[in-house]
């Protein structure tokens, strides 16, 4: 290994320690257990060498936002490590649903009836029932994916009762220019009234606030791996 790669690996190890201790600290403060907060390392647009470094450290839960990029990076890694849990955290087109079902272990971005129907069909065809999250557009931003808050109860019901999807939680990405706390609180409220225990919320800039408001998964990229290359 080059000294440059070693240096980078050391940095990543320190970043993981730092993020985990910050999760621990905020969990204690809000009388939660840090063990109930899953750190998902977001490895989109990061080189495989850095993912390898995280795997070497023992980390196994990762998030990617594009099916095609994930297909290029993850099959080989999954062959090497049998206990990887790969989350799809980006928008999913229906024509990529089949590939997503075959590669990912959790799909966090179910956000419309057509996608839910195609996923149910592809899961049945593959004999692979993958847990899903419903993505909620808490800020009702026109350019952002996700169900509007007022439509979420009905959509969850449709996914569960009509399509038999295993909905385990809700996911959101608050508007960048707003305080995230009200969005996290809203997501928690919608989850509670639908009997959902899992909340995927919080990224590098706001994961501590997310833990305060009940996140069970935080999705952290740059704070672990550094700045990403351009898309």
Ligand X SMILES: *Cc1c(COP(=O)(O)O)cnc(C)c1O
Question: Are the C-beta atoms of 105 and 85 separated by less than 8 Å?
Answer: yes
**Should residue 169 be labelled a site residue for ligand X when binding is judged by CB under 6 A?**
no
Contact string 95-134 vs ligand X (x = CB under 6 A): ----------------------------------------
Residues 129-148 contacting ligand X, CB under 6 A: none
Task: Select the residue interacting with ligand X from 65, 138, 212, 217 (CB under 6 A).
Answer: 65
Q: Cβ-closest residue to ligand X?
A: 221
Residues ≥6 apart with Cβ < 8 Å to 63: 40, 41, 42, 43, 44, 86, 87, 88, 89, 108, 219, 221
**Interacting span for ligand X (CB under 6 A) from 3-11, 70-78, 145-153, 203-211:** 203-211
Environment class of residue 219 by beta-carbon count within 10 Å: exposed (0-12), middle (13-18) or buried (19+)?
buried
Closest distance of CB 61 from ligand X, Å = 13
Question: Are the C-beta atoms of 152 and 190 separated by less than 8 Å?
Answer: yes
Closest distance of CB 109 from ligand X, Å = 8
Q: Whose CA is closest to 131, among 174, 80, 165?
A: 165
Closest distance of CB 133 from ligand X, Å = 11
Distance CA 85, CA 219 (A): 13
Closest distance of CB 45 from ligand X, Å = 8
C-alpha Rg value of the chain to the nearest Å: 17
Taking each helix axis as running N to C, give the angle between helix 149-157 and helix 181-193, from 0 to 180 degrees, rounded to the nearest 10: 30
**Should residue 173 be labelled a site residue for ligand X when binding is judged by CB under 6 A?**
yes
For residue 14, the tally of other CB atoms under 10 A from its CB is 10
- The nearer residue to ligand X, 16 or 163, going by C-beta atoms, is 16
**Should residue 216 be labelled a site residue for ligand X when binding is judged by CB under 6 A?**
no
**Interacting span for ligand X (CB under 6 A) from 7-15, 20-28, 137-145, 199-207:** 199-207
**Should residue 19 be labelled a site residue for ligand X when binding is judged by CB under 6 A?**
no
Distance CA 118, CA 171 (A): 20
Task: Select the residue interacting with ligand X from 23, 89, 107, 156 (CB under 6 A).
Answer: 89
Contact string 37-56 vs ligand X (x = CB under 6 A): -----x-x------------
Q: Whose CA is closest to 136, among 99, 68, 182?
A: 182
Residues that bind ligand X (CB under 6 A): 42, 44, 65, 89-90, 173, 203-205, 219-223
């Amino acid at each position: 290994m080059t000294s440059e790669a070693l240096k980078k690996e050391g940095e990543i190890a320190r970043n993981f320690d730092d993020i985990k201790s910050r999760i621990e600290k905020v969990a204690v403060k809000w009388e939660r257990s840090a063990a109930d907060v899953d750190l998902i390392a977001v490895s989109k647009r990061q080189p495989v060498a850095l993912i390898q470094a995280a795997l070497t450290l023992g980390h196994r839960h990762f998030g990617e936002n594009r099916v095609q990029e994930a297909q290029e990076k993850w099959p080989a890694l999954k062959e090497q490590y049998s206990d990887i849990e790969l989350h799809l955290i980006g928008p999913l087109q229906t024509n990529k649903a089949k590939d997503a079902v075959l590669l990912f272990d959790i799909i966090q971005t179910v956000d419309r009836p057509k996608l839910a129907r195609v996923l149910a069909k592809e899961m049945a065809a593959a004999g692979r029932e993958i847990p899903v999250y419903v993505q909620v557009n808490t800020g009702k931003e026109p350019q952002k994916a996700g169900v509007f808050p007022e439509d979420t109860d009905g959509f969850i019901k449709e996914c569960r009762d009509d399509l038999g999807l295993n909905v385990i939680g809700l996911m959101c990405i608050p508007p960048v220019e707003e305080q995230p706390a009200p969005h996290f609180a809203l997501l928690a409220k919608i989850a509670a009234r639908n009997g959902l225990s899992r909340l995927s919320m919080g990224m590098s800039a706001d994961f501590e606030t997310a833990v305060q408001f009940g996140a069970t998964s935080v999705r952290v990229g740059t704070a672990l791996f550094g700045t990403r290359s351009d898309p």
